[in-house]
Structure 1
């Protein structure tokens, strides 16, 4: 995969590539898309995403109440907090919620879970964004999804230190490439 990001409606990423894509989607709004292939049953992936005890294991400060109208909180301590509301729940296939970051317009995050052979495919799409925070969000989602995978594999997400500077540089360049 080149360093140029593709838009979310492009082809799926190269197998094993954990990088997300960001750019302008079909609705004319900026969006971020991640696809992760996991060697866990869809029910296991769904449980890790929606069970409060498991949420705290992959990202402390996360609360996603998996019922329509449920509360969503991503509390990053000194870095800030995103809040929202669950819009759709389709166990064990889909979860959608709003994302409200202070000073930014409301956006929507959708998690889709499907099966492809012996893998479960998790697609996370964050849409209706402004370009400026999309780079920060992509960096954060990348790190969170890495932690999610580590947790599912039985590891300790807290022991893995993300390369935030490298991720930010990659997604910054990807966003710049989209505006050329």
Structure 2
């Protein structure tokens, strides 16, 4: 499996390629036939196989949900048995097959806006590729999604934050468990309260933390620090909570300290 992540025309582009020991025609059926798609694709798919044909995506847990723009798509390129490209809401999925002496190569090019969610998307699509191989008749061992997620977070540099010239620090990190579980781990046995020191889990090494100034469990906590304010924000993300941590008046040392804390948190959530 080969994966790359890039920015193109203001959007994020994920490319994933896998060599398959099956002819392109067989794999083509597996990626276009709704019956076979049901065995590996993340949603049930109905599609009219023609250029500009409509596509509909439905999730098993909510089959009666109204069809909105995020569950619709349209086929933008169609050259059987080698190429199909369609939209899924605002995302674009392009599937390309190239014959090889051993079978064929399947490449997915996914174009979307949420770069911080790329570890989740990469881990999820990796498991989908595994399931596709099983549909094709291969034996593929099961893999752990959370471990894949953290692998891609590091490979793609999604574990890095940044400090601007005016000292604004920011981390945006997709995590692998719900925000309630993340908050519980951060708070530990020490409940957070406005006017009291923040629980230790919310404070990186070297940060001089003042009392909690803003609190909304399990989504927001802020407190003053030397020269600025630290804010933790958690919301629902793809496959778990999305963490956005900011600090004003930050230094390069603060950046390293926060990265260590966040990566320790991410590791604990995997296990």
| TM, length-normalised to structure 2 | 0.50
Structure showing greater radius of gyration is 2
1:151 aligned residue (122, 130, 135): 135
Contact in 2 for aligned 1:131/1:175 (Cα 8 Å): no
Q: Give ranges in structure 1 of 5+ residues lacking alignment.
A: 1-17, 101-105
Q: Is 1:37 aligned to residue 19 of structure 2?
A: yes
TM-score (norm 1): 0.72
- Alpha-carbon separation, structure 2, partners of 1:131 and 1:60: 19
RMSD: 2.7
Moved more, 64-73 or 106-115: 64-73
CA contact (8 A) 2:42 2:128 kept: no
**Superposition pairs of residues 1-180 of structure 1, within 5 angstroms:** 18-25=1-8, 27-59=9-41, 61-65=43-47, 66-68=49-51, 69-73=53-57, 75=59, 77=61, 82-100=71-89, 106-154=90-138, 161-176=142-157
Q: Which runs of 5+ in 2 are unaligned?
A: 162-271
**Could you tell me which residue of structure 2 aligns to residue 8 of structure 1?**
none
The SS at the match of 1:77 is: coil
Cα deviation, 1:72-131, whole Å, max 9, x if unaligned, reads 4162637x975422222110010001122xxxxx12110001112222010000014321
Structure 1 or 2: more strand by fraction? 2
C-alpha contact (below 8 Å) 1:96/1:111 kept by paired residues: yes
Q: Which has the higher contact order (CA 8 A, sep 6+)?
A: 1
* Pairs aligned (count): 153
Classify 1:72/1:145 alpha carbon distance in 2 versus 1 (closer, same or farther; 3 Å): farther
Tell me the secondary structure at the aligned position of residue 121 of structure 2: helix
Matched residue of 2:76: which SS? strand
CA shift, 1:135, in A, is: 2.2
